[in-house]
Amino acid sequence: MSSFISVQNIIYPSNELSLTMILLEEWSFVYIEGLDSKKYLQNQLTIDMNLLSQNDHILCAHCNFNGKVWSTMRLFHYNKGYAYIQRKSVSMIQIIELKKYSIFSKIDINQLNNIYLIGIAGSNSRLFLLKFFKKLPDQNHLIVYENKKVILWFSEPLERFLLILNLSDFLLFKKNINEKIFFNNSKQWLSLDIEANFPIIDEQSSKKFTPLAINLERLKAISFKKGCYYGQETIARIYFKNLNKRFLCSLTSQGSISPKIGSIIETYIDYKWCKIGFLLSIVKIKSKETWIQAVLYKSININNLFRIYGYKNIFLIKDKN
């Protein structure tokens, strides 16, 4: 019974995560359908729609004419069209921009508020889900459809699953749980995305960075062969002329602070603090440690010390590989 679910407000790193159910209330679900949906998205998004199979979900971006990212999203086939998951704070702005040129296309774009996005992660998550679903996704089939339910598979930073459920399926799923599982908020999923180096674009960081500045080419989220899409000329020029001067990384510090997204990141050079980047996202780990995702200038020494402007906490780059 669902009474065995324990509420957990502490965010854990992936290597310490017990079996956990995560409500992704900071993400939104957008559905696109219509005869022109594939063609329309091909002209808007950074990936080649022709390469998106029924077995895959893929990271991509929607950019403006200047090649700056409106949002990053997880795209896949859904019902009679396509769907994507993105940060809720930027969702309505991004949808308005996506709809701008749809007046002459047979396409319908809507954020669905009756869909529940549920993360399952931590120890024995696959064994747990096999009690409820006949088949689960894996590295060969990244997505599974079962009636109206959809399951996405992620390998980084550990095996985890994202369930897409309507209200009745979510309530039934929760009711039938008869073992101990922790229930946490979306900050837990955010911490896993930071560990996996997935760029987090909220409203405050929308339209500020090119896909290359947030490492989307390394994540295979940009096509340089498919032809034109919004921002393509700028993105291609930066890529082929090696003009990108920024990169995405994660930093860690002891202690708990609460800076705003968009805060300035500084580094210590020649006995003074110098501006070196921008804060994209932040999460507090076990109330003892702070992780941030940042966009930094490539000119830095990765062994430098860093801080957020206005705070004394010293940060180090979390993963130097």
Known binding residues: 27, 189
Q: Kindly compute the dihedral angle of the four CA atoms of residues 100, 106, 112, 116, in this order, to the nearest 10 degrees.
A: -120
Determine contact, residues 259/308, Cβ cutoff 8 Å. yes
Strand partners, 279: 294
Q: Is-cis flag, bond preceding 211, omega within 30?
A: no
Count CA atoms closer than 13 A to 229's CA, side-chain side.
Answer: 28
Tell the burial category of 236 from Cβ atoms under 10 Å away from its Cβ (0-12, 13-18, 19+).
middle
Residue with tokens 């991509």: 60
Binding-site residues for folate = 27, 189
Please name the residue that has the structure tokens 């359908």: 33
**Going along 149-305, which residue ranges are E strands?**
149-154, 160-166, 181-184, 246-254, 264-269, 272-285, 289-297
Q: Classify residue 203 by its DSSP letter.
A: G
CA distances from 249 to 60, 159, 256 (A): 18, 21, 19
> What are the tokens at 318?
């979390």
Tokens of 81: 């069209």
Helix (H, G, I), strand (E, B) or coil at 91: helix
Query: Which one-letter amino acid corresponds to residue 212?
Result: L
